[in-house]
Amino acid sequence: MAVLDLDQLLRKLPLCPGVTVLPIVGSTRALQYVASGLKEFVAPNLTDRADVENPPSPAVAVISAAGAVGKSTLAREIARVRSAPLWDLSHSGPVGQHTLSGALLDAFGPQSIGTAYPLFGSSNLFIVIDALDEARVKVNEASFQAFIRDIASLAAGATSPRVLLLGRTQVAETTWLLLEDAGVRTALYVIEPFTRPQANQYIEGRMRVLSGRRGESVDAHGESFKAARDLIFDHLERALNSNSEGGPSEAAGQFLGYAPVLDSIAVLLAREANWHALQERLRSALHDLDSAGPQGHQTVLEVVVKNVLAREHEEKLVRTIKPALEAGAAAHNWSAWSTLYDAEEQSQRLLARILGITIDYPLQMPKELKLQYEECLDSWLPEHPFLRDGRYAANVVFESYLYAGGLLGEQTDIASAVCRRLNEPLYKPSRLFADFYFRSIPTASGLPEVPPAHLGWLYDSFLSAETDTSFVRLSLEGPDPGEVPREECVDVDGEFIFHAPSASARTFSAVSSREFRSRVRQSDVVTFGRYVRDSAITVPCIVALGGSANEFEIGPSVYILAAELRLNAQTLLVGGHTRSRVVTEQERDQAYDDGGFCLPRWKPRKCCS
């Protein structure tokens, strides 16, 4: 695979006339020029898709990556450097036929649209379109395809890119296939994880932004900062590579170069005032960890997250809580300071703020003192390092940690709110949610026990990490539906199996797995909210396809045998735009022999309304 650095990609793109020649006069906030870049921006490398031969002079370029890799940050930087308009589809309405031409007319106005179109035609102008995922979940398949056909019409015959599109792996792959089918020369690039030097640069840049004026301490205590950073990296690297043969694995590189992981490390380091104490805390916490275990890297990341919470507890207790409440506490003869603002309390209060709910956190303290404490928290909590703008999760590491803990916690109001968030059509899953979930869930007989209602969210979480060189299969093996009495609870063995190219690079082979068990009754429901593919499912309960969206995608390589199969969507998309998987003829024959439902690989997509 050819490696393409950002400068090489930029040279393939036109230098647009920019805001002085082609100003945006419309009121839309979706399509704008980017005036300034991020101080902490680090340019990633890109590669050609492994199974795609990119044309030398594409008319459209599609950039693909797993969730939360930094596509939007890259889109903004490309648009800024090349003075190109950026269309963020997450801030746009539903897309469809003529959406592109309508957006351009609204942005440039009737007076300038006559200037814009000739510039597109002469390849002196291109547009960056970000957030394909958000656009896809807002509309049905037909509308999305109409939108891509509009892009194809604009780009037809161009000798340099007129449109640059960015999205997660699956929607980027689908977009590329649709453009290729339309006869448009389309390149498909993949964002690579940061290398170690890039990761170091990213952490230092983020630290300076997060620290504000204290960023000067990075220079004053450079060696101490690097020692603490490298201590975390070394443990992560050791954990990730302990399960791979023959040196560093691809998974290790992906995790160590994953921007949200680096961001969480930067948050821990950025507000540190005592580097020696931090190193001692980290050494103590990491010393006895089973970092060589199957999920050792997740254990190390959890140490980073918990250290941020522990530091918040210590700092707020000493610097803020005690000084504010000391007089009132003395009047009530109360001194249980250590019970305040611990990790559990912080997590629940953060979740309530992120999810937009109100909770009454139980505190063993006098009512008057509690009221004073709650008033103080209203001003303290928005500044928590887990938050951005006081109400959003700062990154997907913190979000995933909080959601997993909230879903599995004992507070039913918080668990219900997390369920609602995970079911929202615009919620973007992250692999880290499933990783933290399996770190927290109780085990029985050596296996995690996953409630059937949670399986669909875990499946979406693992799917979000698929790349051009990896994918996941789901196996649920339970008794046949007719063999289980109505109210009897039975075990279903489950496994998420992660595949990567074999040594020959012609087929995929299993490289790791995550086993679990689920206790189900006939009345339980296993819901797949968005799509299901590469799955073999035999369960004596209900399987529901679809949730809050109007469409559901199934295939390729799906086998389902259940007590009842429900379709909770207006349209069923059958087949899927995707590359060949690992299902064998024997597996398909067995599926049909068992009376189940199996979709073979490369089956053409069909719509069933």
Residues pairing with 218 in the sheet = none
Range scoring the smallest mean pLDDT among 174-178, 190-194, 399-403, 588-592: 588-592
pTM, two decimal places: 0.90
Q: Given strand 558-561, what is the order of strands in its sheet?
A: 508-520, 490-501, 471-477, 535-538, 558-561, 597-599
Average pLDDT, the chain: 88
* Integer angstrom CA distances of residue 495 from 92, 350, 477: 38, 32, 9
Is residue 606 scored above 60 in pLDDT?
no
pLDDT category of residue 433 using cuts at 50, 70 and 90 = very high
Residue 122's Cα: distance from chain center in Å?
A: 37
Is residue 134 scored above 60 in pLDDT?
yes
pLDDT at position 125 is 94
pLDDT at position 604 is 36
Is residue 579 scored above 70 in pLDDT?
no
Q: How far apart are CA 37 and CA 7, in angstroms?
A: 16
520's tokens: 């189900």
Q: Is the peptide bond before 425 cis (omega within 30 degrees of 0)?
A: no
Range scoring the smallest mean pLDDT among 6-20, 39-53, 270-284: 270-284
Q: How far apart are CA 107 and CA 598, in angstroms?
A: 47
Is residue 503 scored above 90 in pLDDT?
no
Q: Mean pLDDT throughout 374-378?
A: 91
235 phi and psi angles, rounded to 5 deg: -70, -40
Is residue 246 scored above 50 in pLDDT?
no
Strand-pair category, 564-567 with 490-501: unpaired
In this structure, are residues 282 and 232 in contact, taking their beta carbons and an 8 Å threshold? yes
In this structure, are residues 536 and 476 in contact, taking their beta carbons and an 8 Å threshold? yes
In this structure, are residues 241 and 248 in contact, taking their beta carbons and an 8 Å threshold? yes
Is residue 136 scored above 80 in pLDDT?
yes
Range scoring the smallest mean pLDDT among 214-223, 313-322, 515-524: 214-223
pLDDT top residue among 271 and 124: 124
DSSP reduced 3-state for 40: coil
pLDDT category of residue 1 using cuts at 50, 70 and 90 = low
Q: How far apart are CA 317 and CA 580, in angstroms?
A: 56
353 phi and psi angles, rounded to 5 deg: -70, -45
DSSP reduced 3-state for 247: coil
pLDDT at position 487 is 83
Radius of gyration (C-alpha) of the chain in whole angstroms: 26
Q: Mean pLDDT throughout 468-478?
A: 92
pLDDT top residue among 89 and 274: 89
Instruction: Find, among 66, 70, 60, 64, the residue nearest to 48 by Cα.
Output: 64
pLDDT at position 172 is 95
pLDDT at position 222 is 77
Q: What percent of the chain has pLDDT over 70?
A: 89
Q: Mean pLDDT throughout 150-166?
A: 94
Residues pairing with 128 in the sheet = 86, 164
pLDDT top residue among 596 and 217: 217
Q: Which amino acid is at 289?
A: L
pLDDT top residue among 160 and 598: 160
pLDDT category of residue 504 using cuts at 50, 70 and 90 = low
pLDDT category of residue 208 using cuts at 50, 70 and 90 = confident
pLDDT at position 438 is 95
Range scoring the smallest mean pLDDT among 44-53, 282-291, 459-468: 282-291
DSSP reduced 3-state for 462: helix
Q: Which amino acid is at 328?
A: G
599 phi and psi angles, rounded to 5 deg: -110, 120
pLDDT at position 217 is 62
Q: Mean pLDDT throughout 244-256?
A: 59
In this structure, are residues 46 and 147 in contact, taking their beta carbons and an 8 Å threshold? no
Number of helices followed by number of strands (H, E) in the chain:
21, 25
